[in-house]
Amino acid sequence: MRADKDATTADHRTRSYYMNEGKFLWIDRKGVDGRADTLLHWLRGVGDMGFSTRRFCVGSLEQDLRSVRTLQLDSTQQGNVNAVLARLEYRLTKAYFRYVAGQRFGFTNPSYLLNRLDTIEPSRYDSVKRPVRYRGLFDIPVDRVGRDFFLMAVRKVEVDSLGVFLSEVQPRSEFYRALQKRLTEVRGDKNLRAKILCNMERCRWREKDPMQNHSKYVVVNIPSMHLMAIDHHDTLSMRIGFGSLKTKTPLLTSRIKYMEVNPQWVIPRSIIDKDVAHHAGDWHYFHSRNYYVVDRKTGKPVDFSQVSFSMLRNHNYSVVQRGGKGNSLGRLIFRFDNNFSVFLHDTSSKGVFSREDRSVSHGCVRVEKPYELGVFLMHEKNQQLMDKLKYSMTADSLANRRMIVRNIKVDPQVPLYITYLTLYPMAGGRMAEYADIYGFDKVIYSALQPYL
C-alpha cells in the first residue's frame, strides 16, 4: 500500500480504506472464494473497452490467486503466504474500485478537465498575485463519485451481491454499446480508436437529465456544426455558427423558455473595448449600425454629443444595438437559463452558413433556420401566431401593428443540450465522424492514459 504511487480517486480510496483499518474483503481463514473470480471475469473485459488489463492488475491477480489455490508458495519475501494474500487483498480492492467507479461515473472528471482549459486574462499571477481565472466550458449536471459510493461498493462485496452490482454499473446507452462494438472492429487506426475511446468516456458521464428522458428536445453538437430539433420521429436539422477557439461555446443543458422577436443586442464589454470604444465621436459609425449608449444606472440613452472614449470604457455605460434589420442577433433569439449569457439566435450575416469553418461567434449559437425552429418550439401550431412571427421577422416598419409580436412563450419548455460528440449515431446504425474542433478529445485522451 505504501509503495503504491497511483493517484486516481479510486486509488486514494483504496489506500484510505486500509489505512483506516478496513477489514479484509476478499480473504478469510478459508482462503479466497468465488467473489474474486466474479471480479476477474469483468476485469478481463477491459481490453474490449480499449484499456490495458495490466492497469487493473489482472495478470498479477491471476498469478497470486493460482499460487494460493495450488499452494505454490515459498519462503521468499515476495512468495510467502502472507505476502501473496496481502497483495491479493489490496490489488483486488484497487482494481475493483477503479473498475466500478470508472464504469459508473467515468474514468475522468469533465468539470475538472474542461473548466481548467482556457484561461481568462490575466492568465498568470500578476504583481498583486491574483489567481489564474478559467473560462467555464462545461456546465452539464452529471453524477459524480463520492465516499458513499465506495462504502456501498464495500457492502456489495460483504453481502456477496458483487455480480449484480458489477452489471448495474455498466453504461446503459445504445450508443456506448455501438462504440464498443466499433472499437473491436478497428485495429490499426490509432486515431479512430482514440476518438472511439473519448466518446465512450462521454457516455460514462451520466447526465442527471439525459436526452432519452424526453420525446421533444433540441440538441446542438459543436463538432458536427449542426442543430437537430427532435419531436418523437420528426427531426428538423440546420447548420449553426458557434464560438471561436478563443471564445468557445460552453457545453450545457437547459430549457428554452421563450422566443424574443427583433431583440436588442447589449454589446459585450470585450467587444466594446476592442472594436467600439475607439469610434467615440464618430456619429456615422454608431448611426449606421443602430448603436446607442445607455446609462446603466438610469437606463436612459445618453446624448451622442456627450459620448467620449472614457465613457465607453466605463462599466457604468453600455452600448446597445437596436432591434430589427441588420441587428447582429438577427430577428429572433431563443432564451434559456445559463451561466454564460449565451443563446441560440438568428443572424444578419447569413453567409456564415455556407462556410466550412463556422466557428465565428463569441460563444452564442447562430441558427440557420430561426423561423422553422420557432415553429418547432410551439406546442400547438397556431397558424395566426405563425403568421405573426413570420411578419414580425420580415417587416421593416410598424405599419401593421396588429401583426407584430414581441415575445412568444415556449410552454411547455423544451430541453436543450449543447454537447460535444466527435462520433454521432445516425439512422441505420451508421456513425458519423467529426473533427475535434476544440481539442476536447485530445484532453480526454490524455486523461485516460493511466488506463491505456
pLDDT at 114 > cutoff 80: yes
* Per-residue pLDDT reduced to its tens digit, 22-45: 999 999 888 899 999 999 999 999
Q: pLDDT, tens digit, for every residue of 187-216?
A: 889 999 999 999 999 999 999 999 999 999
What is residue 130's predicted lDDT score, i.e. its pLDDT? 63
Q: The C-alpha cell of 342 is what?
A: 449565451
Q: Are strands 317-321 and 265-266 parallel, antiparallel or unpaired?
A: antiparallel
Rounded to whole angstroms, the Cα distance separating 295 from 303 reads 10
Cα 387 to Cα 272, 314, 333, 381, 394, distances in angstroms? 36, 42, 17, 11, 11
pLDDT band at 50 (very low <50, low <70, confident <90, very high): very high
Domain edges within the chain:
9-108+146-170, 266-321
pLDDT of 291 > 60? The answer is yes
Pairwise CA distance, residues 190 & 229, whole Å: 33
Q: Is the pLDDT of residue 245 over 80?
A: yes
All cell numbers assigned to 361: 461567434
pLDDT class for 423, splitting at 50, 70, 90?
A: very high
For residue 142, pLDDT over 90 is answered with yes
pTM of the predicted structure, to 2 decimals: 0.91
Lowest-confidence segment of 50-54, 157-161, 340-344, 423-427 by average pLDDT = 423-427
Partners of residue 138 on adjacent β-strands: 251
**Nearest one of 285, 282, 330 to 305, comparing CA atoms:** 282
Cα separation, 357 vs 355, in Å, equals 5
